Chain A
Amino acid sequence: DIQMTQSPSSLSASVGDRVTITCRASQSISSNLNWYQQKPGKAPKLLMYAASSLQSGVPSRFSGSGSGTDFTLTISSLQPEDFATYYCQQSYSTGVTFGGGTKVEIK
């Protein structure tokens, strides 16, 4: 199985901050990497797919980059509604796997 490791597991940031979350795959997954946002008690929401493609309706302050084993999700200017947990997910192998999540909290 392909293991996905996210860092940090949590972070504290202020509104307006630039936030970067990293995700590392245990083997090369090309650009088969997706990012999801989840708020407490809610279902995950797709943010980015294919490493750097923005899902329709998602604000442009979100961006993704990377290929191979190392990926990043960047929020250029953190907004109050962005406080949530973020998960990366690889879709390179038939059994998709998720990272452990990064909780973004208010400083």
Chain B
Amino acid sequence: EVQLVESGGGLVQPGGSLRLSCAASGFTFSSYEMNWVRQAPGKGLEWVSYISSSGSTIYYADSVKGRFTISRDNAKNSLYLQMNSLRAEDTAVYYCARMVYSKSGKTNYYYMDVWGKGTTVTVSS
């Protein structure tokens, strides 16, 4: 069964750090691009970060750039999100999501087809 399981969430004080993990199983993790997406309480979905299958290409949302670092260990089938200088507005459920694409002619259409159940991060004093 294809599965993503997040862990590492918790309560942290403003300015603190936290490292989230996402364990992948049931597919060849090293072949897939991955994302972190978050959802603040009662709010919509917000993309956080992207990493290519090899880890050579990385993108961040402006809201986390310079504070968060995405990484992966393909040997351990794991995705990570190092979160530093945390703020109250980072409080959210954090999901990892697999990204795949469908090819039509010369165009690749990307979408997130597998999601974990999420891990909750609360930033509060």
Within 8 A of A (CB), among B83-101: 95, 97
Q: Decide if A49 touches B109 in the complex (CB within 8 Å).
A: yes
Interface assignment of A53: CB less than 8 Å from any CB of chain B: yes
Interface assignment of B73: CB less than 8 Å from any CB of chain A: no
Interface assignment of B56: CB less than 8 Å from any CB of chain A: no
Within 8 A of A (CB), among B39-65: 44-47, 50, 59, 61-62
Q: Count of chain B residues with Cβ under 8 Å from any Cβ of A?
A: 24
Interface assignment of A11: CB less than 8 Å from any CB of chain B: no
Interface assignment of B112: CB less than 8 Å from any CB of chain A: yes
CA of A37 to CA of B50, assembled, Å: 21
Q: Decide if A101 touches B44 in the complex (CB within 8 Å).
A: yes
CA of A71 to CA of B88, assembled, Å: 34
Number of A-B contacts (CB under 8 A): 65
Chain A residues, Cβ within 8 Å of B107? 30-31
Q: Decide if B112 touches A95 in the complex (CB within 8 Å).
A: no
Q: Decide if A87 touches B109 in the complex (CB within 8 Å).
A: no
Give the B-binding residues of A (Cβ under 8 A).
1, 30-32, 34, 36, 38, 42-46, 49-50, 53, 55, 87, 89, 91, 94-101
Give the A-binding residues of B (Cβ under 8 A).
35, 37, 44-47, 50, 59, 61-62, 95, 97, 102, 104, 107, 109-113, 115-118
